[in-house]
Amino acid sequence: MATPQKAAPKGETAATPSAPEKMEVEEALDEEILRMAPEDLKSRTHLLDNEIRIMRSEVQRINHSVSTLKERIKENNERIKVNKTLPYLVSNVVELLDLEDNQEEEGVFSPQLLVTPAKLYFRSHILRGSNRT
């Protein structure tokens, strides 16, 4: 990286670097590059430009895939949140059955014992349940 140029004195132009800057630049350059022909330098810079363009497109592609994956994760987290909430359970009483002790049927749902002085009764409820979101 070159250091910023200072204002040139009257006799020098701003385009010519001073002697210490020239030494730093030359030391930084590889000897192979210094020995290359101009055509080779142009082809090498062209190859480097192509590689830079390819790498930029790869970075854009990866950034796009990251953003789509983040969006999918966000949607899936929302789905999980919705599915974790318990639904409202709504039930309607369809029928009430009063059965005597000897009339007890198989499959009667949730019997509650009612005792009257004369007889023993079972009261059964038939419920229909549904989810409400």
**Domain segments of the chain as ranges:** 33-83, 88-132
pLDDT average, residue stretch 23-33 = 69
Tell me the C-alpha distance between 115 and 100, whole Å. 11
* Region of residue 79 (phi > 0: left; psi between -120 and 50: alpha; otherwise: beta): alpha
List, in sequence order, every residue forming a beta bridge with 93; answer none if it has no partner. Answer: 127
With 0.75 as the threshold, say if the pTM is over it.
no
**Residue 22 has which token pair?**
């020239």
Strands (E) in the chain, as ranges, are 88-100, 112-115, 120-132
The whole-number pLDDT of residue 61 equals 98
Q: With 70 as the cut, is the pLDDT of residue 66 above it?
A: yes
74-120 pLDDT per residue, tens: 999 999 998 887 777 777 777 777 766 554 455 544 445 555 555 55
**CA separation (Å) from 130 to 55, 68, 79, 88, 90?**
57, 37, 21, 8, 5
